[in-house]
Amino acid sequence: MRIALIGPDTSHATAFTKLLNDESHPFHVKGGKVTVMYPFFSSHIPISKNRVKGFAQTLTEEYNVAVADSLADVMKEADVACITAVDGDSHLPLFKELSAYQKPVFIDKPFAHSLADAKAILKRSEETNTPVMSCSGLRFAESLQASHEAIQSPLTGVYIRGPLDFEEGIPGYFWYGIHCVEMLVSMIGRSHDKVSVHKTSSGEMLTFHYQGGQTAIVHLEQDAPFEAVIHTKEGSYYAPIYKDQTPFYSLLLQEMINFFQTGHSPVSKEEMLCVIECLEEANALREEKK
């Protein structure tokens, strides 16, 4: 299977390609290879503009990935597409053009920078019969999945900890907070009734309240590791993701390859939208407090 990368302005582009193309890698993922890329970038986002050339060069020199001059050209040479562009605002227009080819498209986090754009992508997906999948790889983390499988009773609460980091041009929590919110949504599976945002002595905390009394806390701290504690009526489960043996990128790519082969996303449309809804509302509250 020939995979096209759209927007190699992120470390994910090289990380994904290494796991897919390097058969000697201990966590190599079979089923597809990155063969061509379209070096799209967003000039108004420094990290996008400044990194695209270096990542594109690595892809061509180390993995023999070809360069296409347009989306039309790149899709002639690929069976499926992976949008890795860091600018969530670019994902809707990119997907609109890619959907003309009706080939499965994976959209790397963030799905979009707004709930309106996320809904528009899904609408376009349905109108053109173009399969789409989007998520952060953290939802597939080894210890988190193990906790899911071990749980035998309803959740009463969730505590998730991860790094606090922001990037110029990327709206608030859409840069790094999205990973923890993705984990939360993968566990709760539905939208919240209320959210609050406040600063702590070491970072920032998002508290989500759900119908039925469940409470979920996302605690973001500088350089914090990814980890989660899941509370149930029978007991609590700890997921030390930072200690996992299998990289969550590898687990994500396994799910992505299966999606490309079947056209069926392991992440529901409802959960894709829920992640963006949580982030959009939390960002708005954060801005109010400035």
Q: What per-residue confidence (pLDDT) applies to 143? A: 97
Q: What per-residue confidence (pLDDT) applies to 286? A: 95
pTM of the model: 0.96
pLDDT digits (tens, 9 = 90+) for 43-85: 999 999 999 999 999 999 999 999 999 999 999 999 999 999 9
Q: Confidence band (pLDDT; 50, 70, 90) for 191?
A: confident
CATH topology of domain 138-246+278-288: Dihydrodipicolinate Reductase; domain 2 (3.30.360)
Q: What per-residue confidence (pLDDT) applies to 148? A: 87
pLDDT digits (tens, 9 = 90+) for 172-188: 999 999 999 999 999 99
Q: Confidence band (pLDDT; 50, 70, 90) for 34?
A: very high
pLDDT at 124 over 90: yes
pLDDT at 289 over 90: no
Q: Where in the chain is the domain with CATH 3.30.360.10?
A: 138-246+278-288
Q: Where in the chain is the domain with CATH 3.40.50.720?
A: 2-137+247-266
Q: What per-residue confidence (pLDDT) applies to 31? A: 98
Percent of the chain with pLDDT strictly greater than 70: 100
Q: Confidence band (pLDDT; 50, 70, 90) for 97?
A: very high
Query: Please, what is the average pLDDT of the chain?
Result: 96
Q: Confidence band (pLDDT; 50, 70, 90) for 215?
A: very high
pLDDT at 17 over 90: yes
pLDDT digits (tens, 9 = 90+) for 235-261: 999 999 999 999 999 999 999 999 999
CATH for 2-137+247-266 is 3.40.50.720
3-state secondary structure 4-16: EEECCCCHHHHHH
Q: What per-residue confidence (pLDDT) applies to 10? A: 96
pLDDT at 290 over 80: no
Q: What per-residue confidence (pLDDT) applies to 45? A: 97
